[in-house]
Amino acid sequence: MRLECKVTGGDFQAAGEAAAKLKRTLRQVGIDAETARRAAIVAYEAEMNIVIHAFRGVLSVDISPERIEIVADDEGPGIPDIPLAMQEGYSTAPEHIREMGFGAGLGLPNMKRYSDEFHIESTVGRGTNVRMVINLPSKGSLT
Amino acid sequence: MKVRDVLDMVECTVEAGTSGLDNEVKCGYASDLLSDVMAHARDGDIWVTVQAHENIIAVATLVGLAAIVVAGGVECQPEAARRADEEGIPLLRTRLPAFEVVGRLYAAGVRGRTGS
Ligand SMILES: Nc1ncnc2c1ncn2[C@@H]1O[C@H](COP(=O)(O)OP(=O)(O)OP(=O)(O)O)[C@@H](O)[C@H]1O
Ligand SMILES: [Mg+2]
């Protein structure tokens, strides 16, 4: 199963909708609450990073019996120093965004912490691609 | 304890989300950083904050929070109230500062989550 949501930079009204849609879908197809929570957290952080830092992007999710793959692909300024951006507390969010409680520099570390696989690629002046995998607990049979 | 049981305790008004007033309050979390709440708050927590814009409802919905208490007399934004109604998340507002709200909740038996 595949879900795709467009995400628009600066659109705080719609922010969080893609992640909410994903969580609802996961619960509907019977994925356990804890796994759905982890998927919702990483999807939300990826979605918010497009809203806050990029121009536009797409959040897509592929759900298979073994895993949930979440990809956030954006057109935006890109990230010049990824190891620095991955540090807890590092943020370039402007003051008016921080006042809203964003920009704690926790989003990327959260994505890494709550996913089983985390890959990030970025080209300055072009955009950023984050790919995360959450493995689903196997239903018993070893393959 | 249910959300409706904390209304008098923290001297709040219900701004929106009345359909969730029977939500069970399991624990509490206090923070104004949204990514911090996403990462550490849990299903059934009551969240004390001074943020009052629409995005707090998205966070509350995703985490499955019992209610939001907007402390310090901060005005709730109309869009936040609209969303809270849609999602059934009680949006409570009090003029008491956050520290006092947390203290009263704690005294009534609501705990933070310690350890994992
Ligand atoms: N999609 C993106 N495009 C451009 N820059 C990004 C993107 N995602 C992250 N960054 C950069 O990496 C930094 C750290 O990101 P991270 O998500 O950890 O924190 P934040 O978004 O600033 O704050 P928080 O997620 O806690 O609200 C950002 O401040 C920004 O400079
Ligand atoms: Mg972020």
Answer whether A41 sits within 8 Å of B49, measured CB to CB: no
State mean pLDDT over B69-81: 97
Q: Is B86 on the interface with A (CB under 8 A)?
A: no
Average confidence (pLDDT) over B108-115? 92
Split at pLDDT 50, 70, 90, the class of A137 is: confident
* Contact call for B54 and A33, based on CB within 8 A: no
Closest ligand relative to A9 C-alpha: 1
Q: Is the pLDDT of residue B48 over 80?
A: yes
B50 found inside a domain: yes
pLDDT given at position A139: 66
Mean residue pLDDT across chain B: 96
Domain count, chain B: 1
The answer to whether residue B115 is domain-embedded is no
Rounded to the nearest integer, the mean pLDDT of chain A is: 94
Q: Percent of chain A at pLDDT above 70?
A: 97
CATH number of B91's domain: 3.40.1390.20
Angle at B94 between CA B88 and CA B100, to 5 degrees: 120
Phi, psi of A114 (to 5 degrees): -95, 0
ipTM of the modeled complex: 0.87
Longest CA pairwise span in chain B (Å):
36
Mean pLDDT across A26-40: 93
pTM: 0.93
Is the model's pLDDT at A93 over the cut of 90? Answer: yes
Q: Is residue B113 part of a domain?
A: no
Residue B61 lies in a domain: yes
The answer to whether residue A135 scores a pLDDT higher than 70 is yes
Decide if B60 contacts B47 (C-beta within 8 A).
yes
Task: Give a yes or no: residue B87 inside a domain.
Answer: yes
Helix, strand, or coil (residue B22): coil
Question: Ligand 1 pocket, A51 CB below 6 A?
Answer: no
Domain that holds residue B98: 3-107
